[in-house]
C-alpha cells in the first residue's frame, strides 16, 4: 500500500489562504458592531509573530468581538484600529498645537509646523513626507507625538473623523487607564474593577493601616454596587447623591498616606469613572474585552505563535467570527458550513447585529427622549 501525503505547505495554505470572504465578513461585523453602540470595550494582550513581540487588540460590545494584531500598542495603533485603517488622516489646527504643548514639543518645532498646510486633511504618508522635508531634526519620539497630535483632533475635536461617513464613530471607549487609550474618543469610561486592583496592590505592614484599607475597600465595593443599582433605575437626584458620595469616599484623608495618595489619583478620574451617571447603559467594568484577551492568551498557550502575517490575519479573522457567532447565539459550525457550501442558511452576521441592536438599544441615553424623561 502506498501512502500519499499532501505536498509541503498544503495544510498551511488550507488554513491561512483563500479566506477573503471570511475577512470581508469580519470587516462587516466590525463596521456594524461599532455602529450598533456609541460605546465600545477595548483591551490589549501580547502575542508573538515569527518570534517577534506583537500586540493583539480586542474591541467589542454585547453583539460582537473583533481581534486585530499589530506590531505596536501605542496611541496611534489604537486610533488606526478604531478607524479600521492602516493609514491615518491628519490635520493641523488649533487643537493640534494645544496637544503639542501637552506633549512638551519645543516651540521651534511648533513654529516649523505652522509653515505646513493648516486646516487641510492629509494622509499619514503625505504628512510624514512633509516632516522629513521641513523638520528633519525631529527625533523618533517627538515625531510620534507630533503625528499623534495631528491625528487625534480628528477624533476628539469632531473634525474630519466625525464628519466622514465611511466608518462609524466611536464616542466612548470603555477601558483601563492606560495612556494609549486617552484622547481618542469624545469621552472615556474607566473600568471600576481595574481601579480596584490598584488598592489591592497596597501592602500595609502596620495593623491600623490594614484596618483602614479594609474599611476603604468595603466602602469602595459598596459604592460600586450602588452604581450597579443606579444603572437599573437612573434619576438626576440619585446621580447627585452618588457624585457627592464619591467625593466623600475619595477626598477624605485617613492616617494611611499611601492609601490617601492612591485615593487622590482616583479622584482625578472622577469624570471617567462616573460617566455612567450620564449614560446608565455604560458598563462599569471592562470584563468583556478582558475575557476576549484571555481567549487569545489560551490560544497562544496552545499554539504558541503564528509565523506569518497571513497566519496572523487568519487567526484574527476566525477568532473574531467565533466570538461574534457565540454572542449572537449562532452555531459557528453551521455558519462555516453554510458559508463554504453556499447554503445561505445563516445569512450575514452584520444583519444579525443590526437587528439585535434595535432591540437592545445600547445607546438609548444619547437620545433626547431620555434626557427629557421625568425620572431623569
Q: How far apart are CA 102 and CA 186, in angstroms?
A: 18
Q: Which of 271, 296, 322 is the last residue of a domain?
A: 271
pLDDT band for position 89 (cuts 50, 70, 90)? confident
Q: Which of 212, 247, 271 is the last residue of a domain?
A: 271
Q: Is the pLDDT of residue 158 over 60?
A: no
Whether 151 contacts 89, CB under 8 Å? yes
Give the residue, 52 or 168, on which the prediction is more confident.
52
pLDDT score of 155: 45
Distances (CA, A) of 249 to 20, 266, 331: 53, 10, 47
Are both 155 and 131 inside the same structural domain? yes
Are both 358 and 300 inside the same structural domain? yes
pLDDT score of 369: 62
Which stretches of the chain are assigned E, i.e. beta strand?
Answer: 39-49, 52-61, 64-70, 89-90, 122-123, 172-175, 187-190
Q: Is the pLDDT of residue 4 over 60?
A: no
Are both 346 and 306 inside the same structural domain? yes
Range of the domain at 161: 89-166
Residue-averaged pLDDT of the chain: 88
- Segment (H or E) for 366: none
**Residue whose grid cell is 491615518:** 88
Are both 42 and 68 inside the same structural domain? yes
User: Does residue 279 lie within any of the structural domains?
Assistant: no
User: Does residue 47 lie within any of the structural domains?
Assistant: yes
Are both 81 and 127 inside the same structural domain? no
Buried b (16+ CB within 10 A) or exposed e, 85-105: eeebbbbbbebbbebbeeeeb
pLDDT score of 29: 96
pLDDT score of 204: 92
Maximum distance among all alpha carbons in the chain? Answer: 83
pLDDT score of 211: 95
Are both 200 and 250 inside the same structural domain? yes
- Tens digits of residue pLDDT in 116-129: 999 888 888 999 99
Q: Is the pLDDT of residue 11 over 60?
A: no
Are both 146 and 94 inside the same structural domain? yes
DSSP state of 277: G
- As given in the structure block, the three cell numbers for residue 302 are 496552545
User: Does residue 182 lie within any of the structural domains?
Assistant: no
Mean pLDDT of 20-24: 87
- Give 249's contacts (C-beta < 8 A, 6+ positions apart): 216, 219, 220, 223, 263
| pLDDT above 70 as % of the chain | 89
- Tens digits of residue pLDDT in 59-73: 999 999 999 999 999
Q: Is the pLDDT of residue 341 over 80?
A: no
User: Does residue 45 lie within any of the structural domains?
Assistant: yes
Are both 98 and 80 inside the same structural domain? no
Are both 291 and 261 inside the same structural domain? no
Q: How far apart are CA 334 and CA 374, in angstroms?
A: 47
DSSP H helices in 60-118: 75-83, 94-102, 107-113
pLDDT score of 17: 72
Q: How far apart are CA 286 and CA 145, in angstroms?
A: 27
pLDDT band for position 15 (cuts 50, 70, 90)? low
pLDDT score of 186: 85
pLDDT score of 342: 65
DSSP state of 35: H
Q: Which of 237, 271, 305 is the last residue of a domain?
A: 271
Q: Which of 172, 1, 183, 164 is nearest to 75 (CA)?
A: 183
pTM above 0.85, yes or no: yes
- β-strands 122-123, 89-90 pairing: antiparallel
- Tens digits of residue pLDDT in 91-113: 898 888 988 998 899 999 999 99
User: Does residue 244 lie within any of the structural domains?
Assistant: yes
Q: Is the pLDDT of residue 159 over 50?
A: no
Do you know the residue count of the chain?
376
- At 173 the three-state DSSP class reads strand
Q: Is the pLDDT of residue 13 over 80?
A: no
Are both 51 and 107 inside the same structural domain? no
User: Does residue 358 lie within any of the structural domains?
Assistant: yes
pLDDT band for position 164 (cuts 50, 70, 90)? low
For the chain, the domain total comes to 3
Q: How far apart are CA 147 and CA 128, in angstroms?
A: 8
Q: How far apart are CA 75 and CA 98, in angstroms?
A: 17
Whether 51 contacts 18, CB under 8 Å? no
- Tens digits of residue pLDDT in 197-235: 999 999 999 999 999 999 999 999 999 999 999 999 999
DSSP state of 5: P
Mean pLDDT of 3-21: 63
- Give 213's contacts (C-beta < 8 A, 6+ positions apart): 199, 202, 204, 256, 259
User: Does residue 234 lie within any of the structural domains?
Assistant: yes
- Give 284's contacts (C-beta < 8 A, 6+ positions apart): 191, 192, 193, 224, 227, 228, 231, 276
- At 310 the three-state DSSP class reads helix
User: Does residue 371 lie within any of the structural domains?
Assistant: no
- As given in the structure block, the three cell numbers for residue 197 are 486592583
pLDDT score of 360: 92
**Residue whose grid cell is 515569527:** 50
pLDDT band for position 238 (cuts 50, 70, 90)? very high
**Residue whose grid cell is 511648533:** 110
Are both 248 and 315 inside the same structural domain? no
Q: How far apart are CA 22 and CA 34, in angstroms?
A: 18
Q: Is the pLDDT of residue 162 over 80?
A: no
Are both 322 and 253 inside the same structural domain? no
Q: Is the pLDDT of residue 22 over 50?
A: yes
Amino acid at each position: 500500500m502506498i501512502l500519499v501525503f499532501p505536498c509541503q505547505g498544503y495544510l498551511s495554505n488550507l488554513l491561512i489562504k483563500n479566506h477573503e470572504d471570511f475577512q470581508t465578513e469580519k470587516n462587516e461585523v466590525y463596521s456594524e458592531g461599532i455602529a450598533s453602540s456609541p460605546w465600545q470595550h477595548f483591551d490589549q494582550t501580547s502575542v508573538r509573530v515569527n518570534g517577534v513581540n506583537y500586540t493583539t487588540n480586542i474591541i467589542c460590545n454585547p453583539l460582537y468581538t473583533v481581534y486585530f494584531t499589530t506590531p505596536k500598542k501605542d496611541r496611534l495603533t489604537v486610533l488606526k484600529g478604531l478607524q479600521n485603517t492602516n493609514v491615518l488622516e491628519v490635520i493641523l489646527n488649533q487643537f493640534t498645537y494645544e496637544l503639542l504643548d501637552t506633549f512638551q514639543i519645543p516651540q521651534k518645532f511648533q513654529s516649523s509646523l505652522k509653515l505646513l498646510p493648516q486646516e487641510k486633511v492629509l494622509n499619514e504618508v503625505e504628512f510624514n513626507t512633509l516632516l522629513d522635508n521641513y523638520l528633519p531634526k525631529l527625533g523618533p519620539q517627538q515625531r510620534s507625538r507630533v503625528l499623534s497630535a495631528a491625528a487625534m483632533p480628528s477624533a476628539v475635536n469632531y473634525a474630519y473623523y466625525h464628519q466622514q461617513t465611511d466608518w462609524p464613530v466611536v464616542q466612548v471607549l470603555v477601558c483601563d487607564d492606560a495612556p494609549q487609550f486617552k484622547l481618542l474618543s469624545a469621552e472615556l469610561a474607566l473600568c471600576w474593577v481595574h481601579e480596584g486592583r490598584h488598592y489591592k496592590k497596597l501592602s500595609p505592614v502596620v495593623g491600623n493601616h490594614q484596618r483602614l484599607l479594609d474599611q476603604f475597600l468595603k466602602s469602595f465595593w459598596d459604592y460600586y454596587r450602588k452604581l450597579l443599582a443606579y444603572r437599573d433605575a437612573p434619576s438626576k437626584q440619585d446621580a447627585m447623591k452618588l457624585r457627592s458620595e464619591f467625593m466623600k469616599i475619595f477626598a477624605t484623608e485617613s492616617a494611611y498616606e499611601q492609601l490617601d495618595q492612591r485615593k487622590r489619583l482616583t479622584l482625578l478620574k472622577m469624570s471617567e469613572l462616573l460617566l455612567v451617571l450620564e449614560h446608565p447603559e455604560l458598563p462599569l467594568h471592562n470584563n468583556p474585552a478582558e475575557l476576549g484577551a484571555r481567549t487569545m492568551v489560551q490560544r497562544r498557550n496552545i499554539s504558541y505563535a503564528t509565523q506569518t502575517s497571513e497566519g496572523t490575519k487568519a487567526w484574527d479573522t476566525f477568532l473574531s467570527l467565533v466570538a461574534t457567532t457565540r454572542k449572537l447565539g449562532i452555531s459557528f459550525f453551521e455558519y462555516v458550513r453554510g458559508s463554504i457550501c453556499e447554503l445561505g442558511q445563516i445569512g450575514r452576521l452584520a444583519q444579525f447585529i443590526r437587528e439585535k441592536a434595535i432591540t437592545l438599544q445600547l445607546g438609548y441615553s444619547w437620545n433626547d427622549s431620555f434626557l427629557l424623561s421625568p425620572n431623569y
